[in-house]
A and B are shown apart, each in its own frame.
Chain A
Amino acid sequence: MLELRDVTVRHGPATAVHHLSLSIATGELAALVGPNGAGKSSLARAIAGTHRPVEGTIRFAGTDITRLDAAAIAARGLTHLPEGRPLALTLSVRDNLLSGAHVLGSLRRALRRLKDVLPSFPVLMDRLDQSAATLSGGERQWLVVARALMAQPLLLLIDEPTLGLGPRAARETLAVIAGLRIDGTTILLIEQNAALALDVADRVLVMGNGRIVAEGTPRSLLDDPGLARTYLGVASRPPHASREDRR
Chain B
Amino acid sequence: MSDFAIGLASNIGMLAFVALSAYLLLISGSISFGQQAYFGLGAYGAGIATALWDWPLMVALGFGALVGGLGGGLVGLLTRKLHGLYFAIATLAFAEMTRIALDLWHYQRMVGGERVGPDGPNGFNGIRRAFEDGWDPAAFMILIWTLLAVTLLALLLFERSRAGVTLRATGEDPVLTRLLGTDVARLRVRTAAVAGAIAGLGGGLYAHLNTYIEPRLFDIMLGVHALAYGLIGGLGTALGPLIGVLIDIGILESTSLFQGWRMIAFGGLVAVLLIWRPRGLLDEPTVRRLRALFARPARHA
Direct contact of A and B (CB under 8 A): no
* A residues whose Cβ falls under 8 Å from a Cβ of B: none
